[in-house]
A and B are shown apart, each in its own frame.
Chain A
Amino acid sequence: MRKVIERLLNLLAFLLTSERPVTADEIRRTVAGYDQSSDEAFRRMFERDKDLLRQMGIPVEWQATDPWEVEFGYMIPADAYEMPDPGLTDEERAALWLAAQVVRLGGQPSGPEAVLKLGGSPMPGGGEPLAAELGLAADLLGFVFQAISERRAMHFAYRDKHRRLEPYGLVHQRGHWYVVGREMAANAVRSFRLDRATEVEIGDETGSFDRPRGFSAKDVLPRRPWEAGPADLEADVRFDASVAWWARRQIPVDAATREEANGDLLARIRVAHQDAFIGWIITFEADAEVLGPDELRQAVVARVRGVA
């Protein structure tokens, strides 16, 4: 490993100071560690090294060495290697470090390397009894995040269909990751569960679309499953005293409610998706009752009978 790291440090030092694209041949002749006997051995070694640097987030770019684009070479632009200083204090770095350990992506801690790159931090002490798993692995999420931050189009397969998307944002809600953006074929803003997307690819062109002004990822997905849809109903529901606490936790805080003397909860709830709402009401079994409107009440009965 020592030889590899020496070679990579030499390569980085050379590419960061050369200020022009340098050809593979020049690297082979100039940089210590690359003087391989065969072309093939050099090529393989150099490919491996470039991959490793890219894996670390260091972009090795391929550019023409002359205006006529006769020859191409490699360079690492300083602004792509460096990160602007976010101005973090030690306390803030320690807080990030702790968060990165407590929260996992795809079963892995979200990475001490990232905190080291930000300037490191003494390990915050004390075992933390809190843990959270956000599901998907950082690799896939990072890929989508890159498309979003660099405004590149992306495409993927989803429910057996090929989709092209201008990705606006990434949301984790109710245990799932969603990518939100304009689906180009439908010309509509949609959200897709990322764990159901396969063959995810992102486009080469950066800045290929504009995000709508004032876009806010957290406002796109409904907090409750019955809040997204074409319907516009106001359901009046009675929740028995025994389940009122459970209903209160799930209905919007701004829903109109009244508690009766016996502890029953009467609530008026906005419904945009009738099917999802009925599904939710049935989880209360016989401890909740839709009082109106009548058509919704009839729909609940039809569902329970198994005819709808």
Chain B
Amino acid sequence: MNTSKTAQRLTRILAMLPWVIGHPGATVDEVCDRFGYHRKDLLADLDLVFVCGLPGYGPGDLMEAYVEDEEVIVDMADYFSRPLRLSPAEALGLLASGMALVSTNQAPPALERAVEKLARVVLPDAGDVLAVDLAAEPGLLDVLRIGAHEHRVIEMVYTSLGRGETKTRSIEPWSVFSALGNWYVSGYCRTAQAERVFRVDRIQQVRVTDEGFDPPAEPPPPIVRYTPSEDDVYATILLRTRAKWVAEYYPVEILSDDDSGMTVRFAASDAAVAARLLVRLGADAELLEGDAVRHETVGLRARILARYER
């Protein structure tokens, strides 16, 4: 959007001016490095500042901004000598990002200090009003991160979510990411000989090996989404009022929704996933269609009840 490009450029100018004014002798390279400028863009912005100032717009009213012997000089611009306030969205964005990383124990001490200092000026009287929790099981994230960062193969004991099957797997980790409240590691699974995404909390044990690998030039973006496959099982389920939350958590297709309940078409990579959900919902849901899921649900009910009846 055009407006926001303008806002970005103006923000950078209004951020750069106070810093240059406060750091006499700053060089072109320093300013470029700090504010992410290409040299020619910095020179263009300085030229632009040079023709602006106060009404009258004569030599005594305009700001001075130029480069001399590689030094950036800004003068007659006292009104732009103070740093700009963060917008609420910017303040929130920085604080939330900082707190998110701090909660993982993967952040340097400098980040923790920065978050504290920033919170003090953004929220002078507010205390603990913001909390971001992305915590993961200790000892897993750091190992995965080292593997992904140093391109080293990892070996892990992983229990799948669907069947609960436990296997030792050899993975080339590409990225470690958090989405929808869970941490994931994506990469190439040598054991399955395919690209895979694994949930970090289902890793029982992990270690980095000494073996290296070549990461893909462009790893897929760190997102989780349901990808339909030929092996998927389907079920049509009636969700009574108290079970309607299911439609927000699972990728379902809503077939109808009225006072008696919501009818959804549920897809899963494994019938066990749908069966577990149905048993969990008890009388709040009813399976209308889906033989594989029905078979699995009957089996699961029987297994649990057998345990309670012995």
List A residues at the B interface (Cβ < 8 Å).
1-2, 4-6, 8-10, 12-14, 16-17, 30-32, 48, 51-52, 55-58, 78, 80-89, 91-96, 98-100, 102-103, 105, 110-123, 126-135, 138-139, 141-143, 145-146, 148-149, 168-176, 211, 214-218, 242-243, 245-246, 249, 278-279, 282-283, 285-286, 289, 297, 300-308
B contact face: mostly helix, strand, loop, or mixed: helix
Q: Which of A13, A32, A173 contacts B80 (CB 8 A)?
A: A13
Query: Which of A80, A132, A246, A303 has the largest count of B CB atoms less than 10 A from its CB?
Result: A132
A contact face: mostly helix, strand, loop, or mixed: helix
Chain B residues contacting A95 (CB-CB under 8 Å) are 98, 107-108, 110-111, 114
1/0 contact string of B63-74 vs chain A (CB within 8 Å): 100000000000
Chain A residues contacting B84 (CB-CB under 8 Å) are 56-58, 81-83, 117
- Report B140 CB to chain A, min CB distance, Å: 10
Contact present for A286 and B303 (CB under 8 Å): yes
Q: A14-B55, A172-B131, A305-B301 are in contact. Are A145 and B91 (CB under 8 A)?
A: yes
27 contacts between A and B (CB under 8 A): A5-B13, A9-B49, A10-B57, A12-B80, A55-B3, A57-B84, A82-B83, A95-B110, A102-B97, A103-B101, A110-B97, A113-B15, A115-B94, A116-B12, A117-B14, A118-B83, A126-B149, A133-B222, A133-B223, A141-B92, A143-B89, A145-B91, A149-B129, A168-B129, A211-B126, A285-B303, A286-B300
Q: Which of A119, A146, A308 contacts B88 (CB 8 A)?
A: A146
Q: A96-B94, A120-B34, A120-B35 are in contact. Are A301 and B305 (CB under 8 A)?
A: yes
Contact present for B133 and A218 (CB under 8 Å): yes
Is B226 in the interface zone, CB < 8 Å from A? no
Complex CA gap A86/B132 in Å reads 21
Q: A55-B4, A130-B177 are in contact. Are A83 and B85 (CB under 8 A)?
A: yes
Q: A218-B133, A305-B301, A306-B301 are in contact. Are A172 and B87 (CB under 8 A)?
A: no
Complex CA gap A215/B85 in Å reads 26
1/0 contact string of B109-121 vs chain A (CB within 8 Å): 0110111011011
Contact present for B6 and A300 (CB under 8 Å): no
Complex CA gap A301/B82 in Å reads 67
- The number of chain B residues touching the other chain, given as a range, is 35 or more
Contact present for B130 and A169 (CB under 8 Å): yes
Contact present for A56 and B83 (CB under 8 Å): no
Chain B residues contacting A128 (CB-CB under 8 Å) are 149
Is B168 in the interface zone, CB < 8 Å from A? no
Contact present for B93 and A100 (CB under 8 Å): yes
CB-nearest residue of chain A to B204: A245
Complex CA gap A57/B87 in Å reads 4
Contact present for B133 and A172 (CB under 8 Å): yes
- Report A154 CB to chain B, min CB distance, Å: 13
- Report A297 CB to chain B, min CB distance, Å: 7
- Report B92 CB to chain A, min CB distance, Å: 4
